[in-house]
Amino acid sequence: MRSLLEVTFSAGSNPAPALFLLQANPLSTPFVPIILMVVIFYLVLFLPMRRRQKKTDEMLRNLQNGDRVVTNGGVIGTIVSLGEKDNTVTLRVRPDNVKIQFSRGAVTALLSQNEEKK
C-alpha cells in the first residue's frame, strides 16, 4: 500500500484518491461517537437526578407544622416546629408522642400535609 504522502505528491498520477482521502466523512472521526455518548450519558443520568433534586428542595422549603414526614432513617412523625435559623425540624413520634429534632435535610418524603392546608 502506498502512503498518503506518496498518493498526494506523486507526479503524473490521478489526484482523485488524494481528494477522496481528504474529503472523508466527518462522522467517521472518533470524536463524534464519544461526544454522542457523553450527551446520552447526561440525558440518561444527570438530567433526571437534577429534576429529582429540585423536587426534593421544593418539598423541604414548603414544610409546615402538622405535616407528616419520613426521615432518611425511617422515622415517621408529625412536624411540631421548624427551626429557620439552624434548619432543624422537630417531629412528634407516636405512640408516646416523643419529640425528636432532626436536620431539615433528613426529611426524605412528605406523607400527608397539614389538615388546615387542604
Question: For residue range 68-79, what is the model confidence (pLDDT) as tens digits?
Answer: 999 999 999 999
Domain boundary (27, 42, 59) is at 59
Residue 20 located in a structural domain: yes
Contact 107, 70 (CB under 8 A): yes
pLDDT tens figures, 6-20: 655 555 555 555 555
Is residue 70 helix, strand or coil? strand
CATH number at residue 84: 2.30.30.100
pLDDT tens by residue, 99-110: 999 999 999 999
DSSP per residue, 39-94: HHHIIIIIHHHHHHHHHHHHHHHT--TT-EEEETT--EEEEEEEETTTTEEEEEET
pTM of the entire structure? 0.61
Domain boundary among 39, 59, 79: 59
* Residue 117 covered by a domain: no
Domains: count for the chain: 2
Lowest mean pLDDT among 41-50, 72-81, 108-117: 108-117
Co-location of 53 and 11 in the same domain: yes
Residue 53: phi and psi, rounded to 5, are: -65, -40
User: Which residues constitute the domain of residue 31?
Assistant: 4-59
